[in-house]
Structure 1
């Protein structure tokens, strides 16, 4: 017999999986930039980018501001957070109490900084992330006993 998951829980698991995927891609990009820092600097100064591909130029400028040590630390941090987020998603899928507690703690910790970031400047993405995290927090707090099935 297949287990039936609540639609909201499925949405949270997909969201966590999406975030883990984005963090993995970010980590790979940062570590790639670290390994090829000199090549990226030369490419950014290349005539190929003059008045073309503004988004690539913007990304390269942001990457090249970071020194190699910061690229390494950022890449490792993104990778670790990607693993943690993936573990959250798997634990939630199997409806484990520890996963619910982990998500509740991490989402609760993230809300005050998100409010601070929103006060600094509102964007659609910032509002969407904030609302999503508040919704996750609310859902898990109100449905935890139903989803937790033990360690």
Structure 2
């Protein structure tokens, strides 16, 4: 008989799935920007963008200012991290001990740079990401024996 998953574990799986989705979209966007760099330059100079869509214009300016090697590295890195994050989510869903350890290690590694970023400028997004990662780390550390039973 299968026991029901704890709500906090379900929330972590949903959070990790959301992050994996965002990273996948980011990876695809960066790699498409690399492939269609010239078309993006033309698009960014169009009359349509100069009128209403300031956020799109801002993002395009940021992407177009990156070197092609940076776009390639960033796109591939985001794609690989998306895969790792999806594997974490799947492993946690099936309550595998290795997934719990993987998440604890990767989230634990990410917290010091997040603290550094917060000291250099607090934004809502940075603060929310930091709080969520600390909550995930705390929960998994306190429930490691529970989730580590299935190998």
TM bin, normalised by shorter chain, reads over 0.9
Counterpart mapping for 1:98-109 below 5 A = 98-109=98-109
Residues in 2 aligned to 1:33 and 1:75: alpha-carbon distance in whole angstroms? 9
Listed as ranges, the gaps of 5+ residues in structure 1 are none
Aligned residue number for residue 34 of structure 1 = 34
Unmatched tracts of structure 2, length 5 or more? none
SS of residue in 2 equivalent to 1:50: helix
For residue 18 of structure 1, what is the aligned residue in structure 2? 18
1:42 positional shift:
1.2
Structure 1 runs of 4+ off > 6 angstroms?
Answer: none
Map of 1:86 onto structure 2: 86
Which aligned pairs between 1:1-150 and structure 2 lie closer than 5 A? 1-150=1-150
Rounded to whole Å, the distance in 1 between the matches of 2:43 and 2:134 is 42
Alpha-carbon deviation of 1:2?
Answer: 4.2
Return the alpha-carbon distance in structure 1 between the equivalents of residues 92 and 138 of structure 2: 15
Q: Number of residue pairs matched? A: 151
How far, CA to CA, are the matches of 1:33 and 1:3 in structure 2?
A: 46
> What SS does the corresponding residue of 1:101 show, helix, strand or coil?
helix
Partners of 2:39 and 2:45 in 1: how far apart?
Answer: 10
* Separation of aligned partners in 2, 1:29 and 1:49: 18
What TM-score, normalized to structure 1? 0.96
